[in-house]
């Protein structure tokens, strides 16, 4: 008895994700992607920075910030206080 042909499942295709264009808060360059957290060079929650600035400026600054405060959880503490900043509620004007 011939086997009934199963319909082939649609091939899984990875759709390219539409990446946003953002502006680096450090060098002002526009870049495609989600950007990087510029902390501690910028404490504005909406700020992002490009990969170049992230590697060249943000990460060294972050290392220094941690080195200056060798508490074990200094980074976590800093992040938490950043996340709890009051400008969290401001957002776009309705």
Q: Site residues (CB under 5 A) for Zn ion?
A: 24, 26-27, 50, 53
| Closer CB to Zn ion, 56 or 74, in the complex | 56
3-state secondary structure 52-82: HHHHHHHHHHHHHHHHHCCCCCHHHHHHHHH
User: Which residues on adjacent β-strands are paired with residue 36?
Assistant: 49
- Tell me how far, at minimum, the Cβ of 35 lies from Zn ion, in Å: 9
DSSP state of 51: H
Q: Which of 49, 40, 85 is nearest to 67 (CA)?
A: 40
| Closer CB to Zn ion, 31 or 78, in the complex | 31
| Closer CB to Zn ion, 24 or 78, in the complex | 24
- Tell me how far, at minimum, the Cβ of 34 lies from Zn ion, in Å: 14
- Tell me how far, at minimum, the Cβ of 16 lies from Zn ion, in Å: 24
């Amino acid at each position: 008895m011939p086997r009934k042909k199963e319909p082939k499942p649609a091939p899984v295709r990875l759709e390219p994700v539409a990446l946003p264009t953002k502006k680096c808060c450090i060098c002002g360059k526009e870049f495609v992607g989600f950007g990087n957290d510029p902390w501690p060079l910028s404490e504005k929650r909406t700020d992002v920075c490009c990969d170049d600035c992230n590697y060249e400026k943000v990460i060294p600054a972050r290392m220094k910030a941690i080195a200056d405060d060798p508490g074990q959880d200094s980074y976590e503490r800093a992040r938490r206080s950043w996340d709890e900043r009051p400008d969290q509620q401001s957002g776009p004007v309705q």
